[in-house]
Amino acid sequence: MRSETFTRFCKASVVAVAGIVLGVGPSFSAGTSIAVSGDSKPSECGAANSAGYSIEMSGSLKGCWSAFVGHFNCQEMNGFSLYTEIGREAFDGTLDGEAVTFDTQYTFSGIFPSGSCPEPSAEKEIAGGCIHYISGDGLVGVMRFYDVMHGEGAPHFFYEGTLSKS
């Protein structure tokens, strides 16, 4: 009995070590979810698609994220301007090294200095971020972007979220 248990342990250890050496990890397969995160910078990568603006993604997602503004609104509030925007987006790139494309519906909200309406300049954003609802060929999820508009490397946009494969 003891010898049989030891043999099973050795076989399991060999399989585990082989998986580590070969780089085999959990795959992103149907019915699973994966956390994504990274950073992005403004880019002209979506110009060929007539995107309103685009960003180059790094991190879990690598590639071009193109945005197409559907509607925006700007309101002067009590000492600041509140800008909101809705639209659609398209991503073309890779997810952890595998080719992927998907679309999003998004909502952006940003705070700008008073007097910035009707169309505030992006570089004057005080704080802002957006939420993106992802849908694609067998892919759904939600992601959030956090705008970093000041300081070293600005502007850039951190992102995090969860994608699920159906």
Closest to 95 in 3D by CA, of 141, 148, 147: 141
Looking at residue 103, what is its pLDDT? 96
Query: What is the Cα–Cα distance from 62 to 58, expressed in whole angstroms?
Result: 5
Please report the pLDDT score of residue 4 as a whole number: 53
Q: Domains, the chain, ranges and CATH?
A: 32-165 (2.40.350)
**Tokens 């007539």 -> residue:** 50
Contact 41, 55 (CB under 8 A): yes
| C-alpha dihedral (63, 155, 77, 82), degrees to nearest 10 | -10
Q: What residue ranges of the chain have pLDDT lower than 70? A: 1-30
Cis peptide before 120 (omega within 30 of 0): no
N-term to C-term CA, the chain: 43
Helix (H) or strand (E) holding 134: strand 127-136
Query: How does pLDDT run across 17-35, given as a tens digit for each residue?
Result: 333 333 333 445 667 899 9
For residue 138, the model assigns a pLDDT of 84
**The pLDDT value given to residue 29:** 61
Q: Report the half-sphere exposure of 89 (CA within 13 A, side-chain side).
A: 23
50-61 tens-digit pLDDT: 999 999 999 999
